[in-house]
Structure 1
């Protein structure tokens, strides 16, 4: 029923988008040959902007810090932006499903960079030194992130996810962010050969900045090896893995949250007991999907003096991707420093 309703919404959005496109939205702010990059969220938009510089316009569809991308419903204007884009950059893996829905519904051959596809391709950079993601049963995709035509990720599995399923929150995986930046640079270099050196230089600079974030994470791993933590949702899974922390959250709890279902009373009780008994040093908390259960976990942690570290799915206002990832890693490190 949910899929059918979603299909109706997408069809309506695409129909309206066709009308918007025909009339011209006037949002491009430039000539018809201007490069237009559309990103599903401002996380990927920030990375695209770092590479594009001032040679392309970047539009992020989801920007509100309070937004929940899992349940986002695209508007006709969003559909028009995606179908008219020179390049679309998105998370993939079913996370921002509305992008796949619009691309499939329009049938337009829009170049894309799918972060999750890059993650599963196994093309990791030196930012993964000492970090084993394990094997993947998924088919690989081209290193440039070009869509292979099959946007379904059903049945994929990845050994890097400790909770019996795919963890699609790959923006916390630094090598994937690096791969996205280079894929964007390659696409833009093809579309705008005059700017090819600029795009690739910008991607190289972004890579260097990512190393500073990786250094912060590695420092955290050295100072707090195997520190026990809990999460209300496995948003920052790849940060936790990269820092070598021990996520003690019951898998039944995080699996239910990830699947959009209510955790069982037993898993709620077990997670609460972790916090009330002080068995973990920090709680990672996603305010964007706050509900009665997650708020109860936060209050349990605060009642016993366990630090709460907020992790987000979109960029807070006024920061770019590098600043955001650095601040999150530093906040986690500070929380573990002050753990009871």
Structure 2
């Protein structure tokens, strides 16, 4: 598996979360929730939504990061987060260096059932850790969750499998949208502020012309070089691209300037996020993203 991209900021070490006697008690393993259902804890509400689609009413699902404005790259978890992860029957997380607080907690927990999405995605040549924009990987994660829950709760195994299959069918509708984009707008040029929607753009067969140096710097929370900024601004001001894919979750002066340049030039903006917007589940969220890209390229 390729080396993951580095996170924006160093994540606070969580080994101290169980240092006190009180927290040590909280960090003990439990086999299920108070009502006897398996407990699932996801790093973000994106993976929590996928887990919920599979779990239905047969398992309890909790997400650590739920705030639509939170940045998972730089999230600093609390002792209560560490306790929730340690106590869960199943932990679902992104992996690939994206939500580093999870493996740091789990390093001190033996024999924990986990679903690591980046690991499931397998070897990749692009090293992009935002696999929640890759519906093929998300489908595989959903089925892995179903397998794990079936082992924990054999009496409800058929329900888990059936819900994973139903979720797979809904994912196909998202793939249909990106396939239509690929058919109608092959190699359409676009720009991004960050490489978050990489897999959606790949599925849609569009060309991201943004200088990698610019995208990487924004993702790392550092200042891109003046040349990278100038090149990116030129893509927009001269309308060399047809859309700007914009991460509205991690804005700064540089990205706001890029967005203003696109708006002034009449280049359409496709806003994307790393966690679920309020009121949307995974299917509705990714359907909306794919539809927004299709509309921007019309």
TM over 0.5: yes
Structural mapping, 1:110-125, within 5 Å? 110-120=112-122
The yes-or-no answer on 1:223 pairing with 2:223 is no
CA contact (8 A) 1:42 1:60 kept: yes
Question: CA offset at residue 289 of structure 1?
Answer: 1.0
Residue 288 of structure 1 aligns to a residue in which SS? coil
User: Match of 1:151?
Assistant: none
The yes-or-no answer on 1:67 pairing with 2:70 is yes
User: Match of 2:90?
Assistant: 87
Tell me how many residue pairs correspond in the alignment.
290
Higher relative contact order (CA 8 A, sep 6+): 2
The yes-or-no answer on 1:295 pairing with 2:298 is no
* Distance in 1 (alpha carbons) for counterparts of 2:256 and 2:16: 36
Question: CA offset at residue 23 of structure 1?
Answer: 5.8
User: Match of 1:40?
Assistant: 43
CA contact (8 A) 1:286 1:310 kept: yes
The yes-or-no answer on 1:10 pairing with 2:14 is yes
* C-alpha distance after superposition, 1:312-338 (max 9, x if no partner): 10001111111111110001111111x
Structural mapping, 1:240-259, within 5 Å? 240-259=201-220
Residue 289 of structure 1 aligns to a residue in which SS? coil
* C-alpha distance after superposition, 1:221-264 (max 9, x if no partner): 11111110000001000000000001000111112223332211
CA contact (8 A) 2:68 2:249 kept: yes
* Distance in 2 (alpha carbons) for counterparts of 1:198 and 1:277: 53
The yes-or-no answer on 1:54 pairing with 2:57 is yes
Give ranges in structure 1 of 5+ residues lacking alignment: 121-135, 137-157
CA contact (8 A) 1:21 1:84 kept: no
Question: CA offset at residue 6 of structure 1?
Answer: 4.5
* Distance in 1 (alpha carbons) for counterparts of 2:55 and 2:202: 30
Question: CA offset at residue 58 of structure 1?
Answer: 0.3
* Distance in 1 (alpha carbons) for counterparts of 2:231 and 2:213: 10
User: Match of 1:133?
Assistant: none
Question: CA offset at residue 271 of structure 1?
Answer: 0.3
Change (3 A) 1:272 1:321: same
* Distance in 2 (alpha carbons) for counterparts of 1:51 and 1:95: 23
Residue 284 of structure 1 aligns to a residue in which SS? strand
CA contact (8 A) 1:13 1:74 kept: no
Per the normalisation by structure 2, the TM-score is 0.92
CA contact (8 A) 1:43 1:315 kept: yes
Question: CA offset at residue 219 of structure 1?
Answer: 0.9
Structural mapping, 1:1-340, within 5 Å? 6=11, 9-15=13-19, 19-20=22-23, 22=25, 30-31=33-34, 33-104=36-107, 106-120=108-122, 136=123, 158-159=124-125, 161=126, 166-337=127-298
Residue 62 of structure 2 aligns to a residue in which SS? strand
* C-alpha distance after superposition, 1:144-196 (max 9, x if no partner): xxxxxxxxxxxxxx32x2xxxx2100000011000000000000000000000
* Distance in 2 (alpha carbons) for counterparts of 1:57 and 1:107: 20
Give ranges in structure 2 of 5+ residues lacking alignment: 1-6
* C-alpha distance after superposition, 1:91-111 (max 9, x if no partner): 00000000011111x233210
